[in-house]
Amino acid sequence: MKLIFEKSREGRVGWTPPEKTVDAKIRIPEKMLRQGIDLPELSEVDVVRHYTALSRMNYGVDTGFYPLGSCTMKYNPKVNEKACRMSGFCGIHPYQPTDMTQGALELMHELEKDLCEITGMKKFTLQPAAGAHGELTGIMLIKAYFMDKGEHRHKILVPDSSHGTNPASAAFCGFEVVQVNSDVDGGVDLKHLEELMTDDVAGLMLTNPNTLGLFDRNIVEIARIVHSKGGKVYYDGANMNAILGKCRPGDMGFDVIHLNLHKTFSTPHGGGGPGSGPVGASKELEAYLPKPTVEVRTEGKGRRFFLNYDRPKSIGRVRSYYGNFGVMVRAYAYIKALGGVGLRKVGENAVLNANYLMKKLKSHYYLPYDRTCMHEFVLSGRDQVHDCGVHTSDMAKRILDYGMHAPTIYFQLLVEEALMIEPTETENKDTLDEFAEVMIKIAGECRTNPELVKKAPQNTPVKRLDNTLAARNPDLRWIHR
């Protein structure tokens, strides 16, 4: 494809301004005029066609499959996009008085109630802007709780399989981060947890299912160990897709939780946003939730929603205004459309799809944890490295040649040459079979033609890049190679 400068023709224009009819009194000083700007000369149709062609080179969930583990890049219903763009929602402003925003406040109140029911928590805040922000908010609740009790607990336990934001959130909040080892089944090592769980530990941060895609069978015992020493158990809700409608973090023993509305509850979040990370708290921690909260009171025969700032133990506001409202509308529409039965099917289909793919691929790639997975699973390219000299990054680039997005690679860190795959619940069997065929074919290419895989990608507009050079000296111009 030619660059737009290569399409330029001298004298060609897209629009010609009318001749000057009034002698302007205000002149732009010569020194303020841009000099030497080499802009392409094109007609309007040339420009439109050029950028339309460029847009077709983009890869998105509307055009292809995203098997990204721990990211939940699933298709989201367009009707929810339409709902959040209704004038009554997108036309309001947070500075408007509550008399003029009763509908928005009611939606937030109802969404909070739904999230409480889904997770087993006592109360939610909708303020946090995304997952890591929700994590920080949750840890702040735990910190405020112990400060209120006069206890100085300065440690947070984090499993070695955690998302990287877990230790970052705890450290940012002033805690010393202590790592808990995994056992041979990929869960928390109970013996190590008991050794570490002392009176100076404020709590444990845990994802269940974890980032290996495995549900921790010892979750009730884990909660008991932490609670026996007075600590709190924090739930990272990034992997909530797998358990929707099947089990609730509150029933497992978790005291505080964040959810990623932009992953689990229908907001496309690729490209950096938008996000929303509501935080739910148990009865013991709800008093510390950020303010204001949305409350309701009965007035005559109706209800009136209001913002409650009278929360003396609250950690205070954690975000401007009341959170990313558009994401809340999408989540509300998604939950109400699916209902309890539909949400349960989300979890069931996410788990079914992941196990189907794992079964098809485990004889072609090393599977470090050969047990029933949840919404995602982790393969390893160690055999391809040792036998053929082909790395996981090479295979990921080769996937691009087949017109598909690559899975997450080199995470989970516990697995050598990791390939983390999450098909999500929205993909059908045909798509999964097509992806499996590509993965199996690449495994064969590693044996028969490893140099081909090492040179991938070859069928993309930009061919293989030097990773180190690209990171240290990025060229942000699009160049046809």
**In the chain, what are the domains?**
1-57 (no CATH), 78-338 (3.40.640.10), 347-472 (3.90.1150.10)
Give percent above pLDDT 70 in the chain: 96
CA angle at 222 for the pair 251 and 288, rounded to the nearest 5°: 60
Q: Tell me the percentage of the chain whose pLDDT exceeds 90.
A: 80
Q: How far is CA 398 from the centre of its chain?
A: 25
Q: How many CB atoms lie within 10 A of CB 433?
A: 13
Return the SS3 of 408: strand
Determine how many CB atoms are found less than 10 A away from the CB of residue 308.
13
Q: What is the DSSP string of 313-364?
A: T----SSSTTS-HHHHHHHHHHHHHHHHHHHHHHHHHHHHHHHHHHHHHTTT
- Predicted local confidence at residue 29, as pLDDT: 79
Q: How far is CA 64 from CA 271, 400, 425, 427, 434, in A?
A: 15, 11, 15, 10, 11
Going by pLDDT thresholds of 50, 70 and 90, the confidence category of residue 481 is: very low
The span from the CA of 211 to the CA of 318, in Å, is 27
pLDDT of residue 20: 67
When pLDDT is averaged across residues 405-411 and rounded to a whole number, the result is 94
Structure confidence at residue 480 as a pLDDT band (50, 70, 90): very low
Element (H, E) at 304: strand 302-308
Query: What tens digit of pLDDT does each residue of 441-462 get?
Result: 999 999 999 999 999 999 998 8
Of residues 325 and 55, the one with the higher pLDDT is 325
Indicate the pLDDT class of residue 306, thresholds 50, 70 and 90.
very high
Q: Can you tell me the mean pLDDT for 117-121?
A: 98
Of 439, 431, 359, 429, whose CA–CA distance to 407 is shortest?
439
Is 90 exceeded by the pLDDT of residue 30? Answer: no
User: Quick one: DSSP state of residue 45?
Assistant: H
